[in-house]
């Protein structure tokens, strides 16, 4: 792939730079950019919540020491980081190492901002194939995942027990709907989720969409319509509240935390809140339409190496990246971030240390990247039409079939 030194960013890169962070929330942070000398390497990350005394900052320093250099770290809010990275590339002033939200990788790759793993000899062989897919475009890989999170179903054990529901019976959509019916008859509330008209809404709909067997290139397929009909029917029967139309993942969680709901679709980032909820909870992977675990979208970041005018810097950048994503360091980092590790070896270690992570590991192993299937920068447009279709169907403005037919026409 040709990468001219004076890079001109594509229009797609500039317009979709900040489209999707459905999984983490950070505050902005001040920071610098260029390396002061050849012994200093710059790294930008989306973790402003971690200060210089944090385990993350100490890990960066340790990896720098092992590579024989100093790391100058700058932390940004996720969406701000993407814009900064695009601007820095325009000015030929990119950091040596860049950690970004995984859906953004294809945007930066298409813009010519990132090197491939072939360019830098970065070994990604231990990363799970489904997670690595979020950083692949046209057969080339741009970086490696540092961790992943995804969606599953939290459930309230007390509510299910009172309704006579055994979670072992929930294997597919029909058995899940049957469980919601029992809960409803017992006088409790069924399931809450986020169907808001933003990327969060698409993010939460995707497990059901993919779990039906549908593909993002054909939004109005019979399978896709069945997924939207499932959600629509839940609202009509009162198994899900009308509030899902405006729910973010945070407000959806707050509904579940009230103790009245049997289920909530949410992510690993709520684990700490689940422990403080005041009732016993469990976690189930989201079932596919006919059984099995539905593919849920992956959240989490990739460690990437931006294009540099001085290609001699790549060798050290590769050492830094390899250090940050080594088995030992992944275990410590992903535990801190409430992430599931991107390698089977470390996932097994996580489950051995905390059995509650088992359903999350199962969910991550079945997950897929939103920009996968070589969609790349096409995904934001598809996602926008998807969330609009969900809103239209759940509000009753259109039938699920009509909403998705309109969405597919708009994408084309």
Quote the mean pLDDT of the chain. Answer: 90
Single out the residue of 150, 27, 124, 81 nearest to residue 321, CA to CA. Answer: 124
Q: Half-sphere exposure of residue 359, counting CA atoms within 13 Å on the CB side? A: 21
Q: What is the pTM of this model?
A: 0.86
**DSSP helix/strand/coil, 61:** helix
Q: Which residues contact 62 (CB under 8 A, 6 or more apart)?
A: 323
- pLDDT higher for 166 or 412? 166
Give pLDDT tens digits for 145-181: 999 999 999 999 999 999 999 999 999 999 999 999 9
Query: Any residues with CB less than 8 A from the CB of 42 and at least 6 apart, and which?
Result: 32, 33, 34, 35, 71, 72, 73, 74, 95, 96, 97
Are 379 and 172 in contact by the 8 Å Cβ rule? The answer is no
pLDDT digits (tens, 9 = 90+) for 20-56: 344 443 333 334 334 445 799 999 999 998 999 999 9
Share above pLDDT 70 across residues of the chain, in percent, rounded to a whole number: 91
Tokens of 242: 């009308």
Cα distances from 128 to residues 1, 114, 234, 298, 343, in angstroms, run 25, 21, 34, 12, 5
Given this model, what pLDDT does residue 37 score? 52
Q: What is the pLDDT of residue 264?
A: 98
Q: Is the dihedral of CA 298, 299, 303, 308 positive or negative?
A: positive
Give the phi and the psi of residue 217 in degrees, each rounded to 5.
Answer: -80, -5
Residue 328 near residue 257 (C-beta atoms within 8 A): no
Residue 383 in this model has a pLDDT that exceeds 60: yes
Quick check: 172 and 179 in contact, CB under 8 A? no
How distant, in Å, are the alpha carbons of 103, 117, 383 from that of 372?
A: 9, 17, 13
Mean pLDDT across 253-274: 95
Model confidence at 386, in pLDDT bands (50, 70, 90)? very high
The DSSP line for 96-139 is: SEEEEEGGGHHHHHHTT-B--HHHHT---TTS-HHHHGGGEETT
Query: How confident is the model at residue 30, as a pLDDT?
Result: 38
Residues 6+ apart with CB under 8 A from 256: 154, 156, 192, 263, 264, 266, 277
Comparing 73-82, 128-137, 169-178, 204-213, which segment has the lowest mean pLDDT?
Answer: 73-82
Q: What are phi and psi of 191, to 5 degrees?
A: -140, 140
Domains and CATH numbers, the chain: 11-148+299-366 (3.40.190.10), 151-296+375-411 (3.40.190.10)
Confidence at residue 29, expressed as pLDDT on a 0 to 100 scale: 36
Angstrom distances, CA of residue 4 to CA of 9, 111, 170, 329? 11, 11, 54, 35
């Amino acid at each position: 792939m040709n990468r001219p030194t004076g890079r001109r960013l594509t229009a797609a890169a500039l317009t979709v730079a900040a489209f999707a962070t459905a999984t983490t929330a950070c505050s902005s942070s001040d920071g610098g950019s260029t390396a002061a000398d050849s012994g200093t390497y710059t790294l930008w990350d989306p973790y402003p919540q971690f200060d210089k005394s944090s385990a993350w900052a100490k890990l960066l320093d340790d990896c720098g020491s092992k590579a024989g250099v100093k790391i100058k770290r700058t932390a940004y809010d996720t969406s701000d980081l993407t814009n900064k990275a695009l601007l820095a590339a325009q000015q030929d002033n990119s950091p040596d190492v860049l950690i970004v939200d995984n859906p953004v990788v294809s945007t930066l790759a298409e813009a010519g901002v990132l090197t491939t793993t072939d360019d830098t000899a970065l070994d990604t062989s231990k990363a799970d194939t489904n997670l690595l897919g979020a950083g692949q475009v046209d057969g080339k890989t741009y970086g490696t995942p540092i961790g992943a999170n995804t969606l599953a179903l939290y459930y309230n054990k007390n509510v299910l027990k009172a309704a006579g529901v055994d979670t072992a019976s929930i294997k597919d959509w029909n058995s899940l709907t049957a469980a919601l019916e029992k809960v409803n008859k017992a006088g409790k509330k069924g399931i809450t989720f986020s169907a808001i008209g933003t990327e969060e809404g698409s993010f939460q709909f995707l497990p059901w969409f993919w779990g039906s067997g549908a593909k993002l290139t054909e939004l109005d397929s019979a399978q896709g319509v069945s997924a939207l009909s499932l959600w629509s029917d839940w609202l009509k029967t009162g198994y899900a509240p009308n509030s899902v139309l405006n729910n973010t993942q945070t407000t959806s969680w707050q509904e579940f935390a009230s103790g009245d709901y049997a289920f909530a679709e949410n992510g690993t980032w709520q684990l700490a809140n689940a422990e403080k909820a005041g009732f016993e909870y469990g976690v189930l992977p989201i079932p596919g339409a006919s059984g099995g675990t539905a593919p849920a979208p992956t959240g989490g970041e990739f460690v990437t190496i931006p294009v540099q005018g001085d290609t001699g810097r790549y060798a050290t950048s590769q050492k830094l990246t390899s250090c940050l994503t080594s088995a030992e360091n992944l275990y410590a980092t992903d535990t801190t971030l409430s992430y599931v590790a991107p390698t089977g070896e470390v996932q097994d270690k996580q489950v051995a240390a905390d059995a509650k992570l088992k359903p999350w590991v199962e969910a991550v192993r079945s997950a897929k990247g939103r920009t996968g299937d070589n969609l790349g920068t096409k995904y934001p447009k598809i996602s926008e039409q998807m969330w609009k279709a969900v809103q239209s169907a759940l509000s009753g403005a259109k039938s699920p079939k009509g909403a998705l037919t309109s969405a597919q026409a708009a994408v084309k």
